[in-house]
Amino acid sequence: MTDTVLTLDNVSKHFGAITAADDINIEVGRTEFFALLGPSGSGKTTMLRMIAGLEKPDTGKIVIGGKDVTNEPPYRRGIGMVFQDFLLFPHKTVAENITFPLKMQGASADEKAKNLAWVCGLVHLEGLEERYPHQLSGGQKQRVALARGLVSRPSLLLLDEPLANLDRELRKEMEVEIRRFQIELGIPFVYVTHNQEEALTMSDRMAVMRAGKMEQVGEKFSLYHDPQSGFVASFLGSPNSFYGTVMAVEDGIAEIDWFGHPI
């Protein structure tokens, strides 16, 4: 892939006898929305934590922006992160919550004010800067969490099931908004979810994971219409999935017995 921002090269991670990531290879392009999709326990969040620097791989290499960051701490990776739980400070205002990463980086007051105005305009939080979390709706809290992940203008944004705690109507609204943010910013988003609809709605490409392994990687419609395994077909609800017995294969075309009917 040309213009790659993120590369995972033969990355593996074990927790005792449990394999959370097994020889994973991924490339994410500069303006790409990439989804890591899989059931609970598939290893997708562990993958995200390794990209963020919150976990260290046992083997393999992680490259961001052409730099090997495998052994670098999170604050040296130039990334933003949005968690499933909003993790807002209840005693801090919206402005203080959003600019907290800049404060930790030692940014000047002018820089904080400039970036705050920019990101509040992006996520439609203007006029709410002096409110506290308890004064916000669920959607507004999610926007604050997104703004905090973006305020330092990262080269890559990681999102760990950020819509899981929202109701269906609000979740659908935020799916559209998150995709809009990504397109406007022109930076890659890596989005972890177990929700097939979210992945199919927002992503350009996605990877389906199971038990620490990468089952299939590709464009979302390719995975949906041309799954390479029974698991991928079943998990995505592919319309091309059915049970039958292969009777013969010739020139790449299979003859299948479907309950006594040849197909």
Task: Give pLDDT tens digits for 62-101.
Answer: 999 999 999 999 989 999 999 888 789 999 999 999 999 9
Confidence category of residue 240, pLDDT binned at 50, 70, 90? low
Domain ranges of the chain: 4-78+155-262
| Topology given in CATH for the domain delimited by 4-78+155-262 | Rossmann fold (3.40.50)
More confident residue, 219 or 251: 219
Is residue 239's pLDDT more than 70? no
High-pLDDT (> 70) share of the chain, %: 98
pLDDT at 66: 93
Residues in the chain: 263
Q: Give the model's pLDDT for residue 1.
A: 59
pLDDT at res. 63: 97
Rounded Cα gap, residues 23 and 10, in angstroms: 4
How many Cα neighbours within 13 Å face the side chain of 229? 12
Across the beta sheet with 18-29, the strand order is 18-29, 4-15, 59-64, 67-68
Residue 261's pLDDT band (cuts 50, 70, 90):
confident
- With 0.85 as the threshold, say if the pTM is over it: yes
In degrees, rounded to 5, the angle at the alpha carbon of residue 229 between the alpha carbons of residues 262 and 254 is 25
Calculate mean pLDDT across residues 230-259: 83
Where b means 16+ CB within 10 Å and e means fewer, 103-121 reads: eeeebeeeebeebbeebbe
Q: Per-residue pLDDT averaged across 15-44, rounded?
A: 95
